[in-house]
Amino acid sequence: MSTAFRSLRLIRRVALSAGALALLAAPAAQADHRFRRPAPSCWDTAFRGSVLTVEVQVDGRTTPLYGAARGDERRYFEAQRGGEYALRIRNRTARRVGVLISVDGLNVVNGERSALAACEPMYVLDPRETAVIRGWRTSLEQVRQFVFVDEARSYASRTGQENGDLGWIRVLAFEAQAPVSKLESPWRGRNQDHDGWLLDEQTPAQKKAAEGNAAGAEKAQPQPDNAPQSLESRRDKDSNSFPGTGWGDRRHDPVRTTWFDPQPYACDQLVLRYEYARGLADLGIFQEPERQRLSERDRGELGFAQPPRW
């Protein structure tokens, strides 16, 4: 019984247009324009691993992914206060894979501290399939939208699960164990739905456990983090605060459980880190205004005379 439960995974249905419209209807966050961004030739929109490709969408638009000056393998992107974001993940292979996602050190399915282990709940992607992961899963039907907030208002902080992975996103791929023969198949009475997914028949205990994992993050949660806040609770843009991922609006985003028995170790891992513009400048990815001005003076790029301001 325990082995069967560990093998239960989530598989996405075809995305509904209503969910897409809701995402696009969200108010766009304001970028901090005080810093100079790298030229387009210095960044990409997709982070490609050996098995997965990851893109980040902020307020419905694909955002640039930057490499670090020190040349590590992770990718960085800009967090914008109040902006809603999603992860667009593609299976590049011709085989079925499980995808474990950790945001701020928490598993996005059950909202619990992640050990990045194969026994944790994960999504399953069919060969060449693409899925958009929009938020913390609260049931088989809904998620709470990922939204950029200050670290103190992050979902991890508000649930007492602060950890050293705040600001980090980890996406791992797991291959399936060797397939069993037809006579030994765990799929009893399996059927095919209108979307073409193969679904397993769960025991009542498995159903209860799976629903409990997905719904656990919904219990006793505060209001969405993109709800209006008092001026006293908002930090100004010049503060030294760090970003985190908050508990945003409810989104209709249905999935179903399926059978997937993962290998014990990940076959691919993509690591992303998000920071406010100031943080990316401190990392040497963005250029600070003072440095930008000094560079212009050094190159003599002051331009032509402009009318005085007064």
Q: Is residue 214 part of a domain?
A: yes
pLDDT: which is higher, 94 or 6: 94
Residue whose pair of structure tokens reads 């008092």 in the numeric block: 230
What are 233-274's pLDDT values in tens digits? 333 444 568 999 999 999 999 999 999 999 999 999 999 999
What pLDDT is stored for residue 304 in this prediction? 56
Q: Tell me, yes or no, whether 225 lies in a domain.
A: no
Nearest alpha carbon to residue 15 among 109, 133, 124: 133
**Residue 78 located in a structural domain:** yes
Mean of all residue pLDDT scores within the chain: 74
Domain with 186, as residue range(s), is 2-220+237-296
- Asked, for residue 255, whether it belongs to a domain, the answer is yes
Task: Say which amino acid occupies 272.
Answer: L
pLDDT of amino acid 38? 63
The arithmetic mean of pLDDT across residues 51-70, rounded, is: 91
Tally of structural domains, the chain? 1
Whether residue 112 is predicted with pLDDT greater than 90 in this model: the reply is: yes
pLDDT of residue 15: 32
Q: Which residue has the higher pLDDT, 291 or 20?
A: 291
Query: Does pLDDT of 8 surpass 80?
Result: no
Q: Is residue 230 part of a domain?
A: no
Beta-strand runs (E) in 167-225: 168-175, 191-192, 198-199
Asked if the structure places residue 310 within a domain, the reply is no
Closest to 7 (Cα-Cα) out of 119, 123, 130: 119
> Is 301 within a domain?
no
Q: Strand pairing partners for 106?
A: 103, 113
More confident residue, 284 or 226: 284
In 3-state terms, the chain is what percent helix, strand and coil (to 5)? 20, 30, 50
**Looking at the domain assignment, is residue 250 inside a domain?**
yes
What pTM was computed for the model? 0.70
> Between these two residues, 27 and 288, which has the higher pLDDT value?
288
Band the pLDDT of 19: cuts 50, 70, 90. Answer: very low
pLDDT above 70: residue 206: no
Bridge partners for 191 per DSSP: 199
